[in-house]
A = this chain, B = another copy of it.
Amino acid sequence: MSTRLSLDPAYLLDAIPAADLERAMARAREARETLLRRDGAGGEFLGWMDLPRDAPAERERILTAAQRIADSSDVLVVVGIGGSYLGARAVIDACAPQLAGNGLRVVYAGHHLSGRYLSGLLSSLSDARVSVNVISKSGTTTEPALAFRVIKTWMEARYGRAGAAQRITATTDRARGALRELAGTEGYETFVIPDDVGGRFSVLTPVGLLPIAAAGIDISALLDGADLERERALVADAADNPALHYAAIRQALRESGKAVEILASFHPELQQVCEWWKQLYGESEGKNGIGLFPASVCDTTDLHSLGQFIQDGSRNLFETFLTVAGEDMDTDVPVMDGDADGLNYLAGRNFSWINAQALHATALAHREGGTPNMTITIPALDAHSVGQLLYFFEAAVAFSGYAQGVNPFDQPGVEAYKRNMFALLGKPGFEDAAAALRAKDAQR
């Protein structure tokens, strides 16, 4: 069985004329050259490229802190939003048995403004030993900062101020910002978010690595997997380079008029990888009035939901399946006396074989219905495979974004709602903006 991620474009290629694909491939190669020269737009945010080889000393410190958290806690509360938690959650859900119930449990807070969720979460932790990892570059992002205020108060009421400080770890800017300052005052252990890595590319920094390691996942294997894919993505010829190939295919499809890419996982463990992917692709490419809208489904679940649309609705979609090679250590289909459901023909088969047939069947059906598709296969649901997948998607979006003619490393549109929100919340300094909003609303 292969130990490498692969990309199978078999149900796709006749949707793209060969000349168009060739042109898209050439542009993807040029985009890679730009990336490697580090002189394209957003060139100050290319730290992610080398993370798999970065900072072995820091890695040791992460492992030590993770072990301390795991030894002293039943639950780790990760406080962060967007790139500050999506990567960790993706890897943890993919690699840690979700329902096994042993080991440290990682839960999330500060990723929205639901007070009901937050108070419910804290109530549910009354019998657990709790540690907290608060993750924010600035320390002033509204959602995690507000949640952290509540959680800090709760931790201090429970463990005392000094006891809480030993159970709180801050991942933040190297030198500046509110959280850096607070950590200094309170005496929290800190980890650094590098200046040259954007939030959505930060999973292989301490942002992701600390909670992932605390959850008991092998971060060395994760980084090794990423490094393996790094070598291929940044170096290999197009024909042997899935990341370059993926970038070219999606740009060719975009130019042919496709508006939506659906990442369709066939394993529930990969659902949060799809959420991470949506941020990575949506923020990197959705700008200047263009970009493929990134959507996701979890199959076969959503074949009974969005399947009808993908088969037969608007023909402005394409699909990227995400699956895992080999077979799980899972349940076989038992025999049923009398064969009431007519499924004895599958008795003795295991579920992952059946799932693989369902994927093949779906790829073919959707292609025939007019939704071209390709399939990404990773070797296993383990840290090494997921590391490959993360780097694959990161490299591909850099190639694809440059090929599309945008800066894949900024996110100027994220600020618009924040400015309005600060005005409506009455934040000092936003008085004029507040007056302007009130005037607009009066004209509605």
Name A's B-contacting residues (CB within 8 A): 10, 81-83, 86, 97-101, 111-121, 123-124, 139-140, 142-143, 145-146, 148-150, 152-153, 178-179, 181-182, 185, 199, 259-260, 266-269, 275, 278-279, 282-283, 285-295, 298-317, 328-331, 333-334, 336, 338, 340-343, 345-346, 350-352, 354-355, 357-358, 360-362, 364-366, 368-370, 381, 411-414, 416-421, 423-428, 437, 440, 444
Please indicate which of the listed interface residues A179, A308, A351 has the most CB atoms of chain B within 10 Å of its own CB.
A308
Contact status A293-B268, CB under 8 Å = no
Other contacts beyond A98-B117, A303-B414: 13, CB < 8 A: A99-B123, A111-B304, A113-B355, A114-B351, A116-B329, A178-B342, A260-B260, A279-B305, A283-B308, A286-B308, A291-B314, A310-B413, A361-B424
A362 CA to B427 CA in the complex, in Å? 16
Question: What B residues does A333 contact at CB under 8 A?
Answer: 146, 149-150
A320 CA to B7 CA in the complex, in Å? 35
A197 CA to B211 CA in the complex, in Å? 46
**Given that A10-B444, A414-B303, A417-B303 are contacting pairs, would A115 and B364 also be in contact in the complex, using a CB cutoff of 8 Å?**
no
Kindly report which residue of chain B lies nearest to residue A411, judged by CB atoms: B308
Question: What B residues does A304 contact at CB under 8 A?
Answer: 81-83, 111, 143, 199, 279, 414
For residue A117, give the distance in angstroms from its CB to the closest CB of chain B: 5
**Given that A305-B275, A309-B291 are contacting pairs, would A425 and B354 also be in contact in the complex, using a CB cutoff of 8 Å?**
yes
For residue A309, give the distance in angstroms from its CB to the closest CB of chain B: 3
Contact status A369-B293, CB under 8 Å = no
Question: What B residues does A317 contact at CB under 8 A?
Answer: 293
A82 CA to B417 CA in the complex, in Å? 35
For residue A101, give the distance in angstroms from its CB to the closest CB of chain B: 6
For residue A425, give the distance in angstroms from its CB to the closest CB of chain B: 5
Contact status B312-A351, CB under 8 Å = no
Question: What B residues does A81 contact at CB under 8 A?
Answer: 300-301, 304
Contact status A314-B293, CB under 8 Å = yes
Question: What B residues does A354 contact at CB under 8 A?
Answer: 113, 142, 146, 425
A81 CA to B120 CA in the complex, in Å? 29
Question: What B residues does A275 contact at CB under 8 A?
Answer: 305
B331, B342, B418, B437: the one contacting A118 at CB < 8 Å is B331
For residue A399, give the distance in angstroms from its CB to the closest CB of chain B: 18
17 contacts across the A-B interface (CB closer than 8 A): A10-B444, A98-B117, A111-B304, A113-B355, A114-B328, A116-B351, A116-B381, A143-B300, A146-B343, A146-B346, A148-B341, A179-B340, A286-B314, A288-B312, A294-B309, A345-B428, A358-B417
A136 CA to B411 CA in the complex, in Å? 46
A144 CA to B393 CA in the complex, in Å? 33
Contact status B295-A293, CB under 8 Å = yes
B99, B111, B259, B360: the one contacting A316 at CB < 8 Å is B259
Question: What B residues does A152 contact at CB under 8 A?
Answer: 336
For residue A123, give the distance in angstroms from its CB to the closest CB of chain B: 7
Please indicate which of the listed interface residues A111, A114, A178, A182 has the most CB atoms of chain B within 10 Å of its own CB.
A114
Question: What B residues does A381 contact at CB under 8 A?
Answer: 116
**Given that A99-B121, A354-B146 are contacting pairs, would A309 and B334 also be in contact in the complex, using a CB cutoff of 8 Å?**
no
